[in-house]
Amino acid sequence: AQKVTQAQTEISVVEKEDVTLDCVYETRDTTYYLFWYKQPPSGELVFLIRRNSFDEQNEISGRYSWNFQKSTSSFNFTITASQVVDSAVYFCALRRKGGSEKLVFGKGTKLTVNP
């Protein structure tokens, strides 16, 4: 079975602080994909990143960075110099390669960035 755990339910920071959102996953598959999505108040899930299980290189995109560690089954997301517009619910998700293409989501972390 596949499972994604986001232990942080809510995080509140002040603008310009760095913040890390944790994600731990469980899967028996050797090949799989990991995702992060952002859900602003409008409700639409916005794709942020996809990582393949065989590519453990960390990735940086502007103020966003991701740390994938297969040894600890973690795929953490860091926002540097947070901004008010970063306030949203963030979801980590897992998908196996092949078969049904469904995503298994964590319960999400609500991030509030205060001015």
Partner 1 sequence: GAGVSQSPRYKVAKRGQDVALRCDPISGHVSLFWYQQALGQGPEFLTYFQNEAQLDKSGLPSDRFFAERPEGSVSTLKIQRTQQEDSAVYLCASSFSPPGGTGELFFGEGSRLTVL
**Nearer residue to partner 1 within complex by CB, 3 or 16:** 3
Cα–Cα distance for residue pair 6/108, rounded to 1 Å:
6
Check residue 70 for interaction with partner 1 (CB under 8 A): no
Q: How far apart are CA 18 and CA 21, in angstroms?
A: 10
Query: Which CB, 4 or 21, lies closer to partner 1?
Result: 4
Contacts (CB under 8 A) with partner 1, residues 74-113: 91, 93, 97-98, 100-108
The answer to whether 13 contacts partner 1 (rule: CB under 8 A) is no
Tokens 């996809």 — which residue?
50
In the complex with partner 1, which residue's Cβ is closer, 70 or 97?
Answer: 97
From the centroid of its chain, how far is CA 109? Answer: 9
Sign of the CA dihedral with 3 first, then 5, 76, and 61 last: positive
- Residues near partner 1 (CB under 8 A): 4, 6, 33, 37, 42-47, 50, 52, 91, 93, 97-98, 100-108
